[in-house]
Amino acid sequence: MSEKDIATPIRTKQILERYGFSFKKSLGQNFLIDTNILRRIVDAADISEETGVIEIGPGIGALTEQIAKKAGKVLAFEIDQRLLPILKETLAPYDHVKVIHQDILKADVINEIEEYFSEGQDLAVIANLPYYVTTPILMKLLEEKLPLRTIVVMIQKEVADRIAAKPNSKDYGSLSIAAQFYAHAETAFTVPKTVFVPQPNVDSAILKLTLREKPPVDTDDEEFFFEIVRASFTQRRKTILNNLSKYFSETMSKADMETCLTETGIDPRRRGESLSMEEFADLSNALYKLI
């Protein structure tokens, strides 16, 4: 283990003490202190010197360092100003890393990509995401249709399970469909809570999203499709007919809704969690014609 690695318990402790850094619970800060796991995260993204990498929340640079050893260029977004001087020191050996003091949720990411990376460059996101903003960040990256090949993120295991879930499972829901509409989702491996400081209450998982060139289903109206999906999971224990007829109570009668479901080949007594993405697309296209 080279002394240079930031992610050793001793080096992490030294850096934090030298700068008098205290963790902010409001920012969901948990730093990894296991270099092997960091390397596995980077390996999961299949990057090379040709790759440009976007990192979100570099912390003290532990993951950034491992990315920088393999990637051509790294652009890191850090929201906590107190970490900027630390990152300046820890990432000093890597002149192909740029740190921006910005909230990723407010950033014009496409503009930053165009300014910093080469046109048509292989791009990946690799990050240890704060638990409390995992979903908004992932959906921003997906919905903005950024020119990314892959997104590899460490997130709460429970959320990773939901994103990668298949129909007829307890984890399957609107988040699964939203993510899988834009990307193929899989859980690469799980990470125990013991390899972080401070130690979180739950285990984490590495989620790998491989971006699709186009969605796996055809929708007449993307926004309406997602509206149908969300409405179908309003109350998980209720049938799709009950959830949708309540949602559309002002624009469609329950009888019309039942007819539409039946004509689409969907039993109105089924629950949302049993419908595939294809069935949701067929249903939303049929309903879109009626509204």
Amino acid at 52: G
Two tokens at 19?
């700068």
Inter-CA distances, 106 with 148, 154, 161, Å? 19, 21, 27
d(CA 65, CA 32) in angstroms, rounded, equals 12
The annotated binding site is made up of 30, 32, 57, 78, 103, 128
Q: What is the pLDDT of residue 2?
A: 45
Every domain of the chain and the residues it spans = 9-211, 222-290
- Helix spans in 94-239 (H): 109-116, 134-143, 157-164, 174-182, 222-232
Residue 114 Cα distances to 20, 68, 109, 240, angstroms: 36, 20, 9, 43
* CATH ID of 222-290, from 3.40.50.720, 1.10.357.10, 1.10.8.100, 1.10.1040.10: 1.10.8.100
Residue-wise pLDDT tens for the chain (291 aa)? 345 789 999 999 999 999 999 888 777 788 999 999 999 999 999 999 999 999 999 999 999 999 999 999 999 999 999 999 999 999 999 999 999 999 999 999 999 999 999 999 999 999 999 888 999 999 999 999 999 999 999 999 999 999 999 999 999 999 999 999 999 999 999 999 999 988 888 999 999 999 999 999 999 999 999 999 999 999 999 999 999 999 999 998 999 999 999 999 999 999 999 999 999 999 999 999 987
Tokens of 129: 């995401």
The CATH H-level superfamily of 9-211 is Vaccinia Virus protein VP39 (3.40.50.150)
Residues annotated within the binding site for S-adenosyl-L-methionine are 30, 32, 57, 78, 103, 128
Structure confidence at residue 24 (pLDDT) = 83
Residue 1: what pLDDT?
A: 37
At residue 3, the pLDDT reads 52
Chain-centroid distance of CA 201 in Å reads 20
pLDDT at residue 178 in the model: 97
